[in-house]
Amino acid sequence: MLRAFLERPEVDGRRPHLVQSDGELLPFADATFDAACSSRFLAGLRGWRRLIAEARRVLKPAGALVVGRAAAPGDGVDATMKQRLASILTDMGVEPERTNVRGGRAALARRGRQGEHRAGRGRVERRAHAARLLERHAPARDFSALPAPVKDDALSQLGAFAAATFGSLDAVLREAHRFELKIYRFHEGAGR
């Protein structure tokens, strides 16, 4: 991504200064930036608290954290597969351990001044593929802690459901996703 960004034309005769670093250890002084932006960094990430704290550290007091994410349709392939997997596990009498990876967005909404603001939306066409979604569910943190026989049985049932519901595990379905930008500003001293 950095190389692609460098290939863009100069702005006002200047090239941007780009830095690659660990999001938990940004090489910038406190209160350096008016805004920090990240796309999809909170999705499925256990260390979201450290990333948010580091972003807030480099933001000026009135700065904003802009978080982008692709929002899948509530009745799309991914949501349907997740709901069915939860149902399968419930029927098996299994309660997977929850890792609270979505807690980052909720924490931002609680701490952000005036809640969250939708800065923009766009429609993105994506291809949903049941077999790929099955592959993604297998290593998911809350699923991977289950005993192997339970996982194998659940994935087998989920695969049969996907084949029956979507016509084939290899069926490629088009669905419209929204891309959302949310801006968070923080109360002075709240969680800094």
Phi, psi of 71 (to 5 degrees): -105, 115
- Contact 51/45 with Cβ under 8 angstroms? yes
- Residues 182-192: pLDDT tens digits? 888 876 554 44
What pLDDT tens digit does each residue of the chain (192 aa) get?
A: 778 878 888 878 887 778 888 888 999 999 999 998 887 665 556 677 888 889 999 999 989 888 887 777 888 888 888 889 889 999 998 876 554 445 566 666 666 554 444 544 445 555 556 677 677 656 565 677 788 898 889 888 988 998 898 888 777 777 777 777 788 887 655 444
- Model confidence, pTM: 0.60
| H-helix segments, the chain | 2-6, 48-58, 77-91, 103-111, 130-137, 141-144, 148-166
Domains of the chain: 2-185 (3.40.50)
Residue 9 sits at the vertex; the CA angle it makes with 1 and 20, to the nearest 5 degrees, is 30
